[in-house]
A and B are shown apart, each in its own frame.
Chain A
């Protein structure tokens, strides 16, 4: 793991991504301090261009775009990280059970996984949020429910590969139970690839969240980048800044997470490592 971090540090793109990501996190932390009035407060005249009284201008209702971006970062990161955590938990349990017990358990669970993968994830997420009624929790649940199959397949593959290793057999020989073998030995040994794939999932989750918010299925009480773009799309030609800056924020964040994820994948995945 430590050697993996060293390899990560040698990858310039990944380090650049990490720096951008760190800036986004700083934004999440200082946002409420810099903009104590909140993102929905009407602070000035509508549709002011950037550079005047407001750094990034104001939207159709006179709300500060910069405040929206700073406070919307929180929603994006929260949904991204929380839904990925739930997806990893769900995927690890399902993939782990399938990979450890094999046989009919594996067939059944992998069929369910395949079923989820056949439905386009955005449509499914849309449907789930519509059923659950739009809120932060239902967004997280919906995104987690469409993201876990990738993790499940990965964990299952790892378990199958590790299950044949002699150290697992040695544990059985010591009299270890299933729980001990799964939690103490198998799961820690697939941590590296799961971290790598999970970090990429965060980026996908943020994009999904933006898409949901754009369609008005986000939490109506929370500012988010998707909501900002949605609000500004009608005035795209008169007030380009309302859509553009949240769009750039999404682009930079997702790109940064992808670069970090690729870096982690290369650093932690032994198969991609060159001799």
Chain B
């Protein structure tokens, strides 16, 4: 198998894991800010 498959799989994992976590944080931050604005 082409080595780049494994290499890109590893980088893909990194992007998914770290990116997923970052997105999760931002989404929850946005929710928190939205509820704040609603509650005033």
Pairing of A with B: no
